[in-house]
Amino acid sequence: MGMLFAFRESLYGDGTTQTRHALGYSGARLIAAQRAQTPPAPAKYALGLERLGARRCSHTGWA
């Protein structure tokens, strides 16, 4: 559904760190509607999520 964006860091060798979550685009639109605000632009919001996940992580995906 795109409500949450999940990302986690791959560890050297085996395994990953704990999964971290951020609000996905659908979730951001829902919050904007609840607050009677203009929703964020899809491309700009997606870019922000990619930057957030890529900061320290090598694996990104939608939850």
pLDDT per residue, tens digit, the chain (63 aa), is 678 878 777 777 777 777 888 888 899 999 999 999 999 999 998 888 888 777 654 444 444
Q: Would you state the structure tokens that stand for residue 6, as one six-digit string?
A: 């999940």
Tell me: the pLDDT tens digits for 14-24? 777 778 888 88
Task: Measure the CA–CA gap between 47 and 60, rounded to whole angstroms.
Answer: 12
What pTM value is reported for the model? 0.63
Residue with tokens 């930057």: 51
Of 63, 62, 60, whose CA–CA distance to 7 is shortest?
60
